[in-house]
Amino acid sequence: MSIQIDHVTKKFGNLEAVKDVTLEVKTGEFFTLLGPSGCGKTTLLRSIAGFNQPEKGEIYFNKKRVDKIATHKRGIGMVFQNYAVFPHLNVFNNVAYGLKARNFSADEIQPKVSRALQMVRLAGMEDRFPNQLSGGQLQRVAIARALVIEPQVLLMDEPLSNLDAKLRVEMRSEIRELQQSMKITTLYVTHDQEEALSISDRIAVMNHGVVEQMGEPWEIYNTPVNRFVAGFIGTTNFFEGTLISEQGGQGIVQVSEIKMKVSAHSPCVGEKVSFAIRPEAFKVAQEITEAERSCFLSLPGRVNKVEYLGFMTKYDLELCRGLSVKVVSYDVLPQHLRKTGETIELCYDPQRVLIC
């Protein structure tokens, strides 16, 4: 079952929460709507679920228009941020709830519920009541309850945001495995970029009600189309300067007091350029080869701050007055560690510069 969203606009009063969004989720795909809070991702998900009615646009499940159909007839499964497990029903009856609504007989319900609970590793918990379960277990009940009705579309609204960090990482890979084994079309909403990158087939990054970029996780990370996406996904250093020369696709940009190399492709000499470099795209001192040193422009940086995290080290470096960059260096040997006030030589491949 695929989902087509065709020019959907949803307003709350004068506020356009979702502005003319068009996207398609392919059959069996794990698709994530990613964005800061208030970007419209949950509103869009709720439009697809039918909890709100878009002012404009159409929504299709497999070419069949559904936006005028009541929620309970859309055949969706939904997992909520705060679990929404019925407090007056035990685990078994929570999971059986949707099956009963579909008039399955007790003989059919029993094995289906057992299988669903096994899937989320809650077998044997049938008689527990929600107030006896932990947050992680509640979310498993909610997932089992949504999956047992074999929905054609699974909608998940920040399902992990109420869990603690460790459990979140565990659960997200479980969700991914479940989704893969059932081949269920899934639309997932989160504000956590790491979660989105790790779990999704494709991601739509949203901001202020519009989709800024759509693509596979590596595309979103490595080739952000604009400053918002570059800044929202991962950490980035932004630079602004003037292109002072250009030769064979390589440009030199005057940024404050220093010159930086970029692989320019658009602006003409004399024009303003803004670009971004990821912290891990920088190479530090001893990592730089002779070939790189001769080919790329190397920069001296004064260490303002060091954060030693074991497997990696974060530096705040000052390239010149008023221009600092964040640099990440992995697996630094003790003799290469630099202290505050010392100077480090930096280098980067202009190919990894993101023009934006």
Partner 1 sequence: MKSRFWSLTTILIFLIFFFFMILPVLNLFTGSFQTQEKGAFTLQNYLSFFHYPSYWRSLWNSILIGLISAAGAMIVGVPMGYMVSRWNVMGKSLIVTLSTLPLMLPTFIAAFAWVILLGRGGIITKFLQTWGIHIGSIYGYPGMILVFVSQLYSYVFLMTLSGFSAVDESIEEAGCSLGSSQLRTFWTVSLPLVLPTILSGAILTFMSAIENFGVPMIIAQQTPNLVVKAYIEFTSEVGTHPGMAYTLSIFLILITMASLVAQRYYLSKRNFIQAARGKPKVKQLTPGKRLLASGIIYAFLIFTLIPFFVALVLSFMEMRGPVFYPRFSLQSYVYAFSRSARPIFNSYFLATISTLVAVLIGVPTGYILTRRKSAYSNALDIVIMLPFVIAGTILGIALITFFNQGWIVLTGTWVILVLSYVIRKMPFIARSSASILYQLDPSLDEASISLGVSPMKTFYKVTFRLMMGGVVSGAILSWVTIISELSSTLVLRSPSWSTMTVEMYQGVVSDDLGKAAAFSSIMIISTVIPLLLATKYFSKDKGGGILL
Can you give the binding site for partner 1, defined by CB under 8 A?
49, 51, 70-73, 75-78, 80-82, 84-88, 97-98, 101-102, 142, 145-146, 149, 155
CB of 84 to partner 1, least distance (A): 4
Q: DSSP E strands: which ranges in the chain?
A: 3-12, 15-25, 30-34, 56-61, 64-65, 76-79, 153-157, 185-190, 202-207, 210-215, 237-247, 250-255, 258-262, 272-277, 282-284, 299-308, 312-320, 323-330, 343-348, 354-355
Residue number, 159 or 224, with CB nearest to partner 1: 159
Residue number, 81 or 110, with CB nearest to partner 1: 81
CB of 150 to partner 1, least distance (A): 11
Residue number, 146 or 175, with CB nearest to partner 1: 146
Instruction: Measure the CA–CA gap between 56 and 60, rounded to whole angstroms.
Output: 13
CB of 101 to partner 1, least distance (A): 4
Strands of the sheet containing 323-330, edge to edge, are 282-284, 343-348, 299-308, 312-320, 323-330
State the Cα torsion 129-130-132-138 to the nearest 10°: 130
CB of 47 to partner 1, least distance (A): 13
CB of 312 to partner 1, least distance (A): 35
Residue number, 82 or 254, with CB nearest to partner 1: 82
Q: What is the CA radius of gyration of the chain?
A: 25
CB of 5 to partner 1, least distance (A): 18
- Residues ≥6 apart with Cβ < 8 Å to 5: 21, 22, 23, 24, 44, 48, 57, 59
Residue number, 68 or 73, with CB nearest to partner 1: 73
Residue number, 87 or 310, with CB nearest to partner 1: 87
**Helix ranges (DSSP H) in 90-164:** 91-101, 106-119, 135-148
